[in-house]
Amino acid sequence: MIFFIADTHFGDQRILRYENRPFESAQAMDEELARRWNETVTPEDTVYVLGDWGIFSPALLNGEKYLVKGNHDTLSSQAYRDMGFAEVYDLPVILEDFWILSHQPLYVCENMPYANLFGHVHASPLYRTFSSQHYCVSVERTGYAPVSFEEIRHRIQG
């Protein structure tokens, strides 16, 4: 299976306050994110992280992981590969000729043959979680766990 997640911000104490995350500390957040990830994703699955990873070893999490870098992912792409990501992208990725994977939301309209999966906006009320052409996978919108491609397709196309 394929999963998506964004804005984990592992190890970032400040994100608790900025986004009103329900954790007592960055360590507690990291442990809970890892627990929910590993309950959702199997070692055989694929996970696309759509930016703002943070400081945490991807090797501790199930699945083959791909990173589309976000504005807080400031290390070199090779550094993230060395951490355990299968591949790292500086630019958006197009999956299956339809899904644009990016960190920040991209403009798509009903006349375009694409849908955008993104993060960056966390729980901002300025953005809906999904529409017929977008889906936000920020952890605040996914129950702090990766969301399956199957669920995304069902919501967008169903």
pLDDT digits (tens, 9 = 90+) for 93-132: 999 999 999 999 999 998 999 999 999 999 999 999 999 9
Q: Which of 30, 136, 49 is nearest to 88 (CA)?
A: 49
CA 112 vs CA 84, 97, 107, 134: distances in Å = 35, 12, 10, 12
Q: Where would I find the H helices in 49-148? A: 77-83
Mean pLDDT within 5-27:
97
Q: Average pLDDT in the 69-94 region?
A: 97
User: Mean pLDDT of all residues in the chain?
Assistant: 97
- The one-character DSSP state at 17 is H
Place 142 in a pLDDT band, splitting at 50, 70 and 90. very high
Q: What is the DSSP letter of 41?
A: -
Report the predicted TM-score, pTM, of the whole model to 2 decimal places: 0.97
Cα(134)–Cα(130) distance, rounded to whole angstroms?
Answer: 5
Q: Are strands 46-49 and 64-68 parallel, antiparallel or unpaired?
A: parallel
How confident is the model at residue 157, as a pLDDT? 84
Instruction: Report residue 6 as tokens.
Output: 């964004």
Cα dihedral sign for 115, 120, 122, 124?
negative
